[in-house]
Structures are given as structure tokens and as C-alpha cells.
Copies of this chain bind each other. A is one copy, B any other.
């Protein structure tokens, strides 16, 4: 693989980057991987051209081959149930990994679609398996990654099972805010990449309810909303509404 010279503060869509100097590596590779190990991972990661909004990373039912790290932009994952209804199962931001649902059945259980222009790193799973056998740290990392997705999904189950529309939306806003902060972006002002319909679908609510709750939050001056742009004005109140510990 040919790599162009990479600079320290590169453009997020830049392809001439390696895991070693990727500013996301602390999220993507939270383990204390040795420099040596990262170099080996680098060799298997494939960085393609950015996806346009609406393009799919993979589709439900496709043969599973790779997992993907989001480098820039944002991805939504969704599945279609037997009766043809869509269920949005997750939103993924830079540093996060999609596609792990495919491992079990050798077929993706979800489709993954770009909500913005997005750059992704493809990591062929067979190579991960090989590397994991050689590098126990790497194996541990991927076991952890999978386990964390389980815990995330269970949190979402709790959200849907126990919480009101307000709590659900508050929870999503808090989560997105925190993930922006982790990326050293503003935790206060951000643009939601997804539609109201995606939000509703993800949270088990109708688009009308989502809209109403946004309006209510705005009226209570917890946030200000203008279309997809949100400014969080009272994160503590949102956390409280979301039933999260202080």
C-alpha cells in the first residue's frame, strides 16, 4: 500500500494517514498497543475515497468481510425487520466502529449508510483474526470492542423500555454531546447529521413526537434548535431528564 506523506493536523477526509498518527487512534485503539503493533494494524487497514451522503458502507445480508472505523462524517446503521419496517440501531461518529454485527452469521445484520460525506477505514476481519492470534493485545482489544457494543445496546434497550419521550431525546442529546467532546469538538453546539425521522426511529418515537419534544426543550431553554443545529444550554437538566447520574 502506498502512503502519501502525512501531516500532524490533517484534513479528516485525508487518505494519506496511518493509524500511527491518526488523531482518532485514542478512541479507535484505546488499548496500549505498542507502536510496533499499530504499524502492523496500519498495514491491513484500507482507506478508500470518502462516501457521499446516502451511500452505503455495506448492506444487510451482504457477506461479511470487514469492519469499518469511521474517520469523518457520520454513519447510521439500520435493519429491516420481517414485516418490512426499518429500525435504526445506531449512529456512529469518528473513532467508532461499525459492522461487528456481521461476524456471527458471516452476513451483516444491518445496513450502514453515510449521513454526511464520510471517510471510513476498512479493516478486513480475516486479517484481524490473523493479527489477533499473533498479538494477544489486539485480540483483547476486539473482544472488548464487541463486548462494549453489547453493553451499549443493552443501555439502549433500557432507554426504550423504561424512559419517556423526553428522557429518550435528552439521552440522545447528552450522548451526542459527549461524543463530540471526545472528538475535541464543541459539546455545546453541533449539527445533528440525522433527520427527525431517523431520531424518532432510533428512539422508538414518531417524528411528530420528536419534533414536539425538541420544541418543548427549546421553550424550557434547555437547548436552542434551528433545524439540525442544536445548542445545548443546560446539559445538567438534560442529564437529569435522561435519568443519568450527575
A residues sitting closer than 8 Å to B (CB atoms) are 79, 81-83, 85, 87, 89, 100-105, 109-110, 129, 132-133, 136, 139-140, 142-151, 153-154, 156-158, 160-162, 201, 203-204, 243-245
Contact = CB atoms under 8 A, between A and B. Distances in A.
A129 B140 contact: yes
A110 B151 CA distance: 9
Nearest to A142: B143
Contacts of A148: 104-105
**Copies of chain A in the complex:** 2
A179 to B, nearest CB: 17
Contact of A136 (B102, B110, B133, B149): B133
B139 A103 contact: no
Given A87-B161, A89-B154, A139-B139, A147 B104 contact: yes
A143 B140 contact: no
Nearest to A106: B144
Contact of A151 (B82, B104, B143): B104
Contacts of A158: 79, 81, 87, 89
Given A133-B136, A245-B82, A153 B157 contact: yes
Contact of A146 (B146, B160, B201, B245): B146
Contacts of A244: 82
30 contacts: A79-B158, A81-B243, A82-B243, A87-B154, A87-B162, A89-B158, A100-B147, A101-B150, A102-B147, A103-B143, A103-B144, A104-B148, A104-B150, A105-B147, A105-B148, A109-B150, A109-B151, A129-B136, A129-B140, A129-B143, A132-B132, A132-B139, A146-B146, A153-B153, A153-B157, A157-B157, A160-B161, A161-B201, A161-B204, A162-B204
